[in-house]
Structure 1
Amino acid sequence: MGKLRISLIASVILNLFLAGALVAGVISLRSGARMINAGSLRIAGAELPVAERRPFRIALRQTRRAMRPAFLEARAARREAARLLRQPTIDQAAAVVALDRARAADMAVRAAVERRAVAYAATLPPADRAKLADAMQRRADKARPATD
């Protein structure tokens, strides 16, 4: 009887966890919360014809891989800023410099991906470029302004 009781309790706990995950997913979908804008070009590329969609995503992925050192620099700079903020006495100038480095590296990655997307789009027929542009415009129109 002991093993049966433990199995029953474990089953109830698992089912409660799964029900909670399901409810959270439904709430998330209904809240209208959007993904962050990272990857907006890749998402906009979903509007391209199937034959162009995969090569477009591959081109963006290759660019992100090539920019991995900049991505790692941004991560290291954010870690450095966090370390500085944990110090008993904050060196504000050093924390700002670290965050500036992170932002510059993030922008370098974004710029490289955007340049590659434009170069790829230039190879597309006008109708496909228009689809990509329309998808980008819709995402830009849906973006919420920052509010604090």
Structure 2
Amino acid sequence: MSKSWVRRLVIASVVLNVFLASAFVGGAVWLRNAKSGVSLESAGRQLPDQDRKTFREALRQVRVQSRQIILDGQQARQDAADLLRQPVMDKAALSAALERARNADGTVRTRLEQAIVDFAANTSPENRSVLAQALLRHMERRAAVAPKKSP
């Protein structure tokens, strides 16, 4: 092999290793953040085993019972996307589709939050503290991501 081929192989190897190392670090960061979620739903991961199962089951039941509403919201977003692709946009139809999606999302969120309220009302003060900490982390994260208002 000539020196130029060896040099190319070394450069390719270095580039590949940097890429793989970056992917590994990025994946590790993503997993760490995924495990320490900031929503009330993700707070269930911090609960003791039996309480975590009860919490997850309550949220799963809401999703099962809300399946049609979830599907309706997805269909409304698909309708909105289809309307946006049209050569002539129907503003009223687009607004209506987005409103249907928003209403579906709001209904499901309300049901999930009510299930969390019901769980909190029937659990220990320690478990409620776990939920409170998750809510505070959620607020802090949203504040950190929120755009700064200019004067």
- Name the TM tier (shorter chain): 0.7 to 0.9
Unaligned runs of 5+ in 2: 1-15
For 2:89, the equivalent position in structure 1 comes to: 90
Distance (whole Å) between structure 2 residues aligned to residue 77 and residue 139 of structure 1: 28
How far has the Cα of 1:45 moved from its partner? 1.4
For 1:104, the equivalent position in structure 2 comes to: 103
Deviations 1:63-97 (A, max 9, x none): 11111111111110011111111111101111011
Taking only the aligned residue pairs, the percentage that are identical comes to 40
**What TM-score do the two structures reach when normalised by structure 1?**
0.73
CA contact (8 A) 1:47 1:135 kept: no
CA RMSD across the alignment: 2.9
Deviations 1:6-63 (A, max 9, x none): xxxxxxxxxx6xx8566335236558xx66xx99222111222222111101110111
**What TM-score do the two structures reach when normalised by structure 2?**
0.72
For 2:68, the equivalent position in structure 1 comes to: 69
Structure with higher Rg: it is 2
- How many residues get paired? 129
The residue correspondences of 1:1-148 to structure 2 (distance < 5 A) are 20=19, 23-27=22-26, 30=29, 40-143=39-142, 144-147=144-147
User: Which structure has more RCO (C-alpha within 8 Å, separation ≥ 6)?
Assistant: 2
AA paired with 1:99? L
